[in-house]
Amino acid sequence: MEPSTDPNNSNNAVANPNVHHHCMDMEAEITAPEVHKVVAPPPRTTLQKLKSRLKETFFPDDPLRQFEGQPRGKRFILGAQYVFPILQWGPHYSLQLFKSDIVAGLTIASLAIPQGISYAKLASLPPIVGLYSSFAPPLVYAVLGSSRDLAVGPVSIASLLMGSMLRQEVSPTKQPLLFLQLAFSSTFFAGLFQASLGFLRLGFIIDFLSKATLIGFMAGAAIIVSLQQLKSLLGIVHFTPQMGLVPVLSSVFHQTNEWSWQTILMGVCFLGLLLLARHVSMRRPRLFWISAGAPLLSVILSTLVVFAFKAQHHGISIIGKLQEGLNPPSWDMLHFHGSYLGLVMKTGLITGIISLTEGIAVGRTFAALKNYQVDGNKEMIAIGLMNIVGSSTSCYVTTGAFSRSAVNHNAGAKTAVSNIVMSITVMVTLLFLMPLFQYTPNVVLGAIIVTAVIGLIDVPAAYAIWKIDKFDFVVMLCAFFGVLFISVQDGLAIAVGISIFKILLQITRPKTVMLGNIPGTDLYRNLHQYKEAIRISGFLILSIEASINFTNTTYLKERISRWIDEYEAEDVKKQSCLRYVILELSAVSAIDTSGVSFFNDLRLALEKKNIELVLVNPLGEVMEKLQKADEGNDLLRQDSLYLSVGEAVASLSSSLKPAARV
Amino acid sequence: MEPSTDPNNSNNAVANPNVHHHCMDMEAEITAPEVHKVVAPPPRTTLQKLKSRLKETFFPDDPLRQFEGQPRGKRFILGAQYVFPILQWGPHYSLQLFKSDIVAGLTIASLAIPQGISYAKLASLPPIVGLYSSFAPPLVYAVLGSSRDLAVGPVSIASLLMGSMLRQEVSPTKQPLLFLQLAFSSTFFAGLFQASLGFLRLGFIIDFLSKATLIGFMAGAAIIVSLQQLKSLLGIVHFTPQMGLVPVLSSVFHQTNEWSWQTILMGVCFLGLLLLARHVSMRRPRLFWISAGAPLLSVILSTLVVFAFKAQHHGISIIGKLQEGLNPPSWDMLHFHGSYLGLVMKTGLITGIISLTEGIAVGRTFAALKNYQVDGNKEMIAIGLMNIVGSSTSCYVTTGAFSRSAVNHNAGAKTAVSNIVMSITVMVTLLFLMPLFQYTPNVVLGAIIVTAVIGLIDVPAAYAIWKIDKFDFVVMLCAFFGVLFISVQDGLAIAVGISIFKILLQITRPKTVMLGNIPGTDLYRNLHQYKEAIRISGFLILSIEASINFTNTTYLKERISRWIDEYEAEDVKKQSCLRYVILELSAVSAIDTSGVSFFNDLRLALEKKNIELVLVNPLGEVMEKLQKADEGNDLLRQDSLYLSVGEAVASLSSSLKPAARV
């Protein structure tokens, strides 16, 4: 009975297997139980296998699918659209869309300007670099990026990381020019590294930062960043250059004489204002503009207050004079050799990965909300090129910022034009409004940073992790406390190391479970999970739940021999005897040469005990390798290889009968 | 129908599922298809889970099983026997066994004496240290070791590694005493490390050296060792201290003026004799004593020749005077601090792991032949303690040697008493026979080493690996060429790194395959592997063949969305439409928090396309975590969770029918 492909008939086709099956069973009762053969997949050459493996590894999303079967001209257009997504949406751009984008763009600009200044200070860079970084990179991203919601610019975590890593070797106060050069060079390497990852389709590297790691890391970093703000919030002049929880707190409480009550008062007021605005917007997402506008409002208000009361003479530190004008070129400031090359490459690598992770995650989050695709590798190239361009136009590391992207999305951004609007607004600021920031107090910038990073501490997510997976929770805690007490980059490294170790441990110690028959079916399931499942006397049915490779063959040998010993110890009481060990291999997706010897060794060991080894449902690759290795011995004899446990048990127990009668 | 546990009735019980199943199917046709519920395993506390996880990780063989339910006195005896296996076999020792053991012991002693001297020279140590190392460690092993066939003593690979690593910092000719001290210290750390691995039940670390890695490494090391022997075989005086293929060969061919024809002649003769003996014994295992006795015979013959012709005055270099007497104590020579501590710890670690790997592998090989168990972790403690004791009695790293153990086995060794016999023979040699070795030419020692290591080049095994698994072959080549052209330890490190990378890549890119129904059954199998399997219209049935965790959720999302796109592209032609995506999770043994979010994200994404997500057979841990995470949303609704694909398709297509009729 061939399945019908006629859609009108599809219900029948679906119901067929059952009917068909039923007929077969009828026959099966008359003759011997029916057995289906296990076959290997059709043979392929090594080259074909390598090709399909490489495709699965580097092009799982098959980005060139759309080009197939298209005429040449169309292919060229599709190719250009693939490289420059602006060509995709640009032609259809309308006034309607522009109206939405201009509102969103102005909103995020009002957030980007104070945050840019603040984050640059966090990275120990001149405040104006933060504004430069909000001007050039968004323009690049608008052309190359495929996310419609990402608002790009400097972000807190990358700023913190870059500042803290560079400060380990160079002092930003004693050698400001060198520090700036190193920051630009690190940005260049970050961009180069990001673009290469995307170009080489190695985007999966960022997947090794698990959600648990990131939550712990972000929370730790948020606290470190907030602690750094105690300098401006309390008005301390001689602050420790270290980042850890202990040195910062000890520095704060040893310098109580430097605390300035005017600064503290101002800080508390504006921090309260900003937190209130944040709270309101979180409660009512439609009021997003309150928290979006609050930072700029605070800057304006506080600047007016300082200006009016001449507060800079009363212990409140201010930004000071800022240079007017657009980004100066900086390609002659990049270090490609010399003694700091290692430092800038390392800094670029780590800030590059972290900012990439944030940018991609944010892009994917909003793409999922609006139901469009973001190609991770393409985004990496876009973010990477943006940073390479940035590094030669006086910008430091930028990426898609979570808070600003959320505001962008809520404000109704439709395309990357909102980034262009933001960029132009920042340009106008750079050209004409810089003198206005002269009296902006540093304390308000500190308050803005604290408000921005406080959202990175995600307690509900941490609780959910605790509930679902205790090990992930431990990983999270390691990242968190590592960042707090050791250092930002070491905390991250420890958490990643532990996560990978966990996976290796899972492979080294794969689960083996005993299966039993679910009454009334042909199904065999875990006896521990399904209490109604029953053991079949004379059979030990084990399921191996992982690939078999060199890391676990020794373990599997020991574990299976323990299963057999335990089974036999029970059998002695019951006076029955073990005849067959059935290995259900449905979950063994791959084996290597050690895995192949494992089966041979096991078969020999069982033979000595007069027990037969039966394999059930080896998957394609496993079957293929067993077949190749099986010239000469008989691991794959017809009576020791079945397609399902049910068939194996039925067939073997029917052959048991005559033996029992003899 | 309850299954019978009566053994006489077991055939019926076994046949039952099928009969039962058949009845059920009959009913199924009349009413709705029967559906079995997926349940989570019985709840356990975190502590219980941790406990069972730790047990599976560290005590998979459950070594304390035998103690259960035994009275106190018996337990004590069992415990003592567990720690000192000699107490297990000692009481039953008989004259019969001793007759076998004494033959085997004398045979391996005749091999151990020349090999001990040769291997010590390979490690750049005084020849007598090789004999010391064949005296004390075997006695310790006889008491603690659980293998009956292992012949312990110095081995070629560990000697080569220790020599080459220590020579990187200290010259054995310029600072012989310091070099000796460092060798003993490295031995101490090797032993400490080995014993700790066993004591902490971390024996699985050596499993990370896969068979492919070891074959490549051994072959490379054998060539390096043989090349080193060109010094003695050609009689070169000024030999390069480097180990690589290139420097050694260039040194050999730049010093042709130092070649001594007398040495070469003698070398060729004895090498031919030894290789011939080896060949005969390999052809006829019963003639093992030919290759076992050949080295000692060669030493005696060559010594006589040198003595008779006064060949030491004709360009043949000899060992020279050796000190008589037993092992002097050396605990005061161990370095526990100072500038070489790092070096000796590193050397100890690497030689420790490598010699452990050899010892355990050899022990397991012969245990499997004679059908007894060798507990890996216990063996590690035995080998470790043996080296710790060795380091304070002037011995360097020792382990179970493959070639001597094979001879031991063939010579009929029954227990570890053969090691004691060997040890006593070596003792007699040390006390009385040392002057006889004065005139032994170095060239014959070189020939003995070459003959011993040539067996490490295992071409048939390499060919088998090539046939079965191309990637393993690449790993093997990396180890081989890394050892030859970079360095012994780097070659090993590269190969291990690549093997682990392969495993991580497998996890990052798990296979997803499309399943189809095997006609005439309820089974669903890979469409690519089983050509007769048929697709069910309206259903996309995918099997995920790996744990779902943070490293692969992104990939899986992309890959599944590509499956859907491809399916829909085909469907457009057929005018049918995709209604259900069924994920068969039988091979997903674990998930983490990222995996849980993956399912939720996927369900939401599919909902937007009006496709329903159906999960089939989530295993215990997966079910548990999904349940914990599922408060509030409906991933685990009854109509989207089935025990088998067959039931899911039957049930869902019966619910499709009315919808189609509307």
Q: pLDDT by residue (tens digit) across B604-629?
A: 888 888 889 999 999 888 888 888 87
What count of Cα atoms within 13 Å lies in the side-chain half-sphere of residue B499? 32
From B57, B506, B574, residue closest to A505, measured CB to CB: B57
pLDDT by residue (tens digit) across A480-490?
Answer: 999 999 888 88
| 3-class DSSP assignment, residue B641 | strand
Does B390 fall in a domain? yes
Does A467 fall in a domain? yes
Same domain, A406 and A311: yes
Same domain, B32 and B173: no
Distance CA A524, CA A521 (A): 8
Question: Does residue B11 have a pLDDT over 50?
Answer: no
Q: Are B419 and B138 in contact (CB under 8 A)?
A: yes
B367 → chain A, closest CA residue: A605
Does B151 fall in a domain? yes
B466 → chain A, closest CA residue: A593
pLDDT at B657: 54
Contact A551 B208 (CB under 8 A): yes
Average pLDDT over residues A533-554: 89
Same domain, B436 and B535: no
Best CA proximity match to A124, nearest among A156, A160, A169, A168: A160
Does B500 fall in a domain? no
Give buried/exposed letters for A296-328 (b at 16+ CB in 10 A, else e): bbbbeebbebbeeeebeeebbbbbeebeeeebe
Could you give the percent of chain A with pLDDT greater than 70?
92
Q: What is the CA radius of gyration of chain A?
A: 32
Q: Are A383 and A144 in contact (CB under 8 A)?
A: no
The H or E element spanning position B514 is: strand B512-517
Question: Does residue B14 have a pLDDT over 80?
Answer: no
Same domain, A525 and A494: no
Task: Describe the strand order of the beta sheet including A641-642 as a list of residue ranges.
Answer: A524-526, A512-517, A539-544, A580-584, A612-616, A641-642
Distance CA A311, CA B431 (A): 95
pLDDT by residue (tens digit) across A289-298?
Answer: 888 888 888 9
Best CA proximity match to A443, nearest among A270, A297, A254, A241: A270
Measure in Å the smallest separation between the Cα of A541 and chain B Cα atoms: 13
When divided into structural domains, chain B yields a total of 2
Lowest mean per-residue pLDDT among A73-87, A463-477, B51-65, B269-283: B51-65
From A13, A371, A469, residue closest to B537, measured CB to CB: A13
| 3-class DSSP assignment, residue A641 | strand
Residue B477: band (very low, low, confident or very high) from pLDDT cuts 50, 70, 90: very high
pLDDT at B21: 39
Question: Does residue B471 have a pLDDT over 70?
Answer: yes
Distance CA A450, CA A480 (A): 18
Question: Does residue A654 have a pLDDT over 50?
Answer: yes
Considering chain B, what is the average pLDDT of its residues?
Answer: 84
Query: What DSSP string runs through B112-129?
Result: HHHHHHHHHHHTTS-HHH
Question: Does residue B113 have a pLDDT over 80?
Answer: yes
Distance CA A536, CA A515 (A): 9
Residues of B in contact with A371 (CB under 8 A): 605, 608
Same domain, A598 and A499: no
Query: Of A481, A503, A525, which one is at a domain's C-terminal end?
Result: A503
Residues of B in contact with A511 (CB under 8 A): 56, 589-590
pLDDT at B453: 86
pLDDT by residue (tens digit) across A381-410?
Answer: 999 999 999 999 999 999 998 888 888 888
Same domain, A381 and A242: yes
Q: Pairing state of beta strands A524-526 and A399-400?
A: unpaired
From B56, B650, B657, residue closest to A18, measured CB to CB: B650
Distance CA A506, CA B423 (A): 43
**Host domain of residue A439:** 95-503
Question: Which residues of chain A from 501 to 540 reach within 8 Å of chain B, CB to CB?
Answer: 503-511, 513, 517-523, 525-526, 528-531, 534-539
Does the CB of A369 have a partner CB in chain B at under 8 Å? Answer: no
Average pLDDT over residues A593-609: 87
Best CA proximity match to B241, nearest among B135, B295, B168: B168
Average pLDDT over residues A565-571: 80
From B472, B549, B605, residue closest to A503, measured CB to CB: B549
Q: Which residue has the tokens 């790691």?
A: A213
Phi and psi at residue A517, to the nearest 5°: -80, 130
| 3-class DSSP assignment, residue A105 | helix
Three-class secondary structure assignment of B546-614: CCECCCCHHHHHHHHHHHHHHHHHHHHHHCCCCCEEEEECCCCCCECHHHHHHHHHHHHHHHHCCCEEE
Does the CB of A356 have a partner CB in chain B at under 8 Å? Answer: no
DSSP state of B321: -
Across A4-8, A27-31, A428-432, B244-248, the highest mean pLDDT is recorded for A428-432
pLDDT at B635: 65
Residue of B633 and A568 predicted with greater confidence:
A568
* Angle (CA) A660 B1 B7, round 5°: 25
Query: Of A503, A527, A556, which one is at a domain's C-terminal end?
Result: A503
Does the CB of B279 have a partner CB in chain A at under 8 Å? Answer: no
| CB atoms inside a 10 Å sphere around CB A519 | 19
| Sign for the pseudo-dihedral over CA of A77, A82, A84, A89 | positive
Question: Does residue B499 have a pLDDT over 90?
Answer: no
Distance CA A105, CA A412 (A): 9
Does the CB of A596 have a partner CB in chain B at under 8 Å? Answer: yes
Structure tokens at A116: 């840019």
| CB atoms inside a 10 Å sphere around CB B540 | 22
Residues 6+ apart with CB under 8 A from A609: A564
pLDDT at A186: 95
Does A399 fall in a domain? yes
DSSP state of A640: G
Residues of A in contact with B510 (CB under 8 A): 589
Question: Does residue B492 have a pLDDT over 70?
Answer: yes
The H or E element spanning position A370 is: helix A341-370
Distance CA B367, CA B85 (A): 15
The H or E element spanning position A612 is: strand A612-616
Does the CB of A646 have a partner CB in chain B at under 8 Å? Answer: yes
Distance CA B211, CA A281 (A): 60
Q: Are A151 and A419 in contact (CB under 8 A)?
A: yes
Structure tokens at B46: 């975190």
Whole-Å CA distances, A417 to A77, A93, A355, A356, A397: 22, 10, 22, 21, 21
Same domain, A521 and A496: no
Does B70 fall in a domain? no
Distance CA B608, CA B521 (A): 33
Query: Of A477, A503, A529, which one is at a domain's C-terminal end?
Result: A503
Question: Does residue A471 have a pLDDT over 90?
Answer: no
Q: Which residue has the tokens 């052959």?
A: A655
pLDDT by residue (tens digit) across B530-586?
Answer: 888 888 888 999 999 888 988 888 889 888 988 888 888 876 666 668 889 999 999
Same domain, A464 and A519: no
Residue B32: band (very low, low, confident or very high) from pLDDT cuts 50, 70, 90: low
Residues of B in contact with A43 (CB under 8 A): none
| Sign for the pseudo-dihedral over CA of A279, A281, A287, A292 | positive
Residue A531: band (very low, low, confident or very high) from pLDDT cuts 50, 70, 90: confident
Phi and psi at residue A403, to the nearest 5°: -65, -45
Same domain, A468 and A325: yes
Q: Which residue has the tokens 């290692």?
A: A342
Amino acid found at B214 = L
Measured in residues, chain B has a length of: 662
Question: Does residue A631 have a pLDDT over 90?
Answer: no
Whole-Å CA distances, A101 to A95, A369, A386, B118: 10, 18, 21, 81
Residue of B187 and B605 predicted with greater confidence:
B187
pLDDT by residue (tens digit) across B190-216?
Answer: 999 999 999 888 877 888 888 888 899
| CB atoms inside a 10 Å sphere around CB A276 | 14
Question: Does residue B393 have a pLDDT over 90?
Answer: yes
Same domain, B519 and B443: no
Measure in Å the smallest separation between the Cα of A398 and chain B Cα atoms: 23
Strand partners, B548: B591
Best CA proximity match to A653, nearest among B2, B521, B9, B644: B9
Residue B656: band (very low, low, confident or very high) from pLDDT cuts 50, 70, 90: low
Could you tell me the pTM of the whole model? 0.80
Contact B368 A601 (CB under 8 A): yes
Measure in Å the smallest separation between the Cα of B277 and chain A Cα atoms: 30
Best CA proximity match to A191, nearest among A392, A383, A354: A383
Does B433 fall in a domain? yes
Same domain, B421 and B518: no
Residues 6+ apart with CB under 8 A from B17: A517, A519, A521, A522, A536, A646, A649, A650
The complex scores an ipTM of: 0.81
pLDDT at A23: 34
Residue B79: band (very low, low, confident or very high) from pLDDT cuts 50, 70, 90: confident
**CATH number of the domain within which B613 lies:** 3.30.750.24
| Sign for the pseudo-dihedral over CA of A127, A128, A131, A133 | negative
Q: Are B133 and B392 in contact (CB under 8 A)?
A: no
Question: Does residue B107 have a pLDDT over 90?
Answer: no
Q: Are A302 and A318 in contact (CB under 8 A)?
A: no
DSSP state of A174: T
pLDDT by residue (tens digit) across A16-52?
Answer: 444 343 333 333 343 456 677 777 778 888 888 888 8
Q: Are B180 and B418 in contact (CB under 8 A)?
A: no
Question: Does residue A252 have a pLDDT over 50?
Answer: yes
pLDDT by residue (tens digit) across B414-454?
Answer: 899 999 999 999 999 999 888 888 888 888 888 988 888 88
Question: Does residue A262 have a pLDDT over 90?
Answer: no
Distance CA B117, CA B182 (A): 19
Q: Are A470 and B46 in contact (CB under 8 A)?
A: yes
Same domain, B227 and B324: yes
| 3-class DSSP assignment, residue A548 | strand
From A50, A371, A555, residue closest to B608, measured CB to CB: A371
Does A4 fall in a domain? no
Structure tokens at A204: 């999966």
